Structure 1
Amino acid sequence: MVPVRDAGTVTNELTVGQVASLVGISVRTLHHWDEVALVRPSGRTHGDYRVYDAADVARINRVLVYRELGMSLAEIGRVLDDPEVDEREQLLRQRTLLTTRIARLQEMVSAVDQMVEGHDMGQQLSPQEQAEIFGTDWKPEYAEEAEQRWGDTPQWEQSQARAASMTREQWEQVKADTDALEADLAAARCSGVDPASSEAAELVERHRLSIDRFYDCSTSMQVCLTRMYLEDARFTEHYEQLAPGLTAWLADAVAATARAQGIDPETATWQ
């Protein structure tokens, strides 16, 4: 990421070359931003050279943040020039977006840790497998957090042993099955399927079996997991991206299945 400098240390007259060196981008980029009216130097020297002041550099830093977040120059211009958003609100917006970005990068680090662990256990994935398993459409568990929470359970031991023994074809099947299940869950939610219906119960069983592939998962455990989905923003975000309201719908469907089996979802435990 391009470093963002403190605009408060910038003098009021910096040439394009000085600004390029200060913020770590090219003179050509600054010229382009000037041409498209994204960031224009606001001052001129006695020799009629255009120069940037501290406010101009602060705007450049904001552009760099939004570019790092994947926004187009046109989108950035609209955000920065929005008369309804003051400077402080813009900074808070950038902070929120950066926090989200950092969380995603931390998630990727956890995915790499899992790959290293798999390698150490003799299961090395190819680049294609890595892309399929750890791509943006699939949210891996945070390995360190998972071990801290469940490292002393039989389920953790089972999951580690089963994952380490899986072949490339098996990982591909996991990916395909997960995509199909999530598509069907989203379709059920969007079409208004009753969480207590037999159709929902079939999806609940598929969901349980997707977990059971890695460790023996009972319906009571499934209730605990969906309870965690509602409490953990990372899981909620994943399901809500598939279909609005899907997290609560899945939890309700699992709870209905549990009741049908004589399990009280309000008191279900990890057993």
Structure 2
Amino acid sequence: MTSHKVGELAKATGLTVRTLHHYDHVGLVRPSGRTASGHRLYDESDVRRLYAVLALRQLGLPLEDIGAALAGTSGLGELLTRHREHLDRQLVAIRTLHAHLTTMLATLDDGVGVTDFLALIREVTTVDETVKQYFSEAQLAELAERRSRLGGQEDVQRKWQDLIPRVQRAIDTGTDPASTAGRALAAEWMSLLEAFHGGDPGLRDSLYRMQADNSERIRREHGGPSPEQLDFIRRANAAS
């Protein structure tokens, strides 16, 4: 039977001798034999096990999970599913971080001070706890990316601050929601909402639920629309 010394196996697999020693120490891949002088010898079954370990490592599984899978004490499918969920969370975190950095780089100028920079970080990364109740981590990452593509929300906020009073004036002057003017206001309204949810049904539904559950707070703290204004827009949209 062919046996491989630790140095030979390290060279063949691209691993270091130290890594193979560690695998032996933790019981992951133990050599089946020893030379007369005590050096490790790996037989073909040991090598096959090592390549199984390397294949699972390529998937990013931690050593303890690999050991459990090879020992048969934990199902491989379950381990891979759990690991994929872990990777999904990492991807969301990376997407969010990338979007935050993009927004800050677009906003930052060479003359910004430390205090201004810290304020910018807080403004970009802080998410209201209420918002977190309605949007998943993946949706929050999507919103952060959308924000970075739009270059911030200041322009959108200004447009809302201009549009909401115009809708109220239309109501006060008795404008018919089904009129050309009413339908134009509704189209502008829906366009601004589109900038937020990008046509994604999940984001749109989460936004509507958040608005419905927190309409009074949104109106009081952020100048959001009143029920009367929302009803005007709904009727204008129905007439379109």
Output the TM-score relative to the length of structure 2: 0.46
Bigger fraction of residues in helix: 2
Greater relative CO, 1 or 2 (CA 8 Å, sep 6+) = 2
Larger gyration radius, structure 1 or structure 2:
2
Output the TM-score relative to the length of structure 1: 0.42
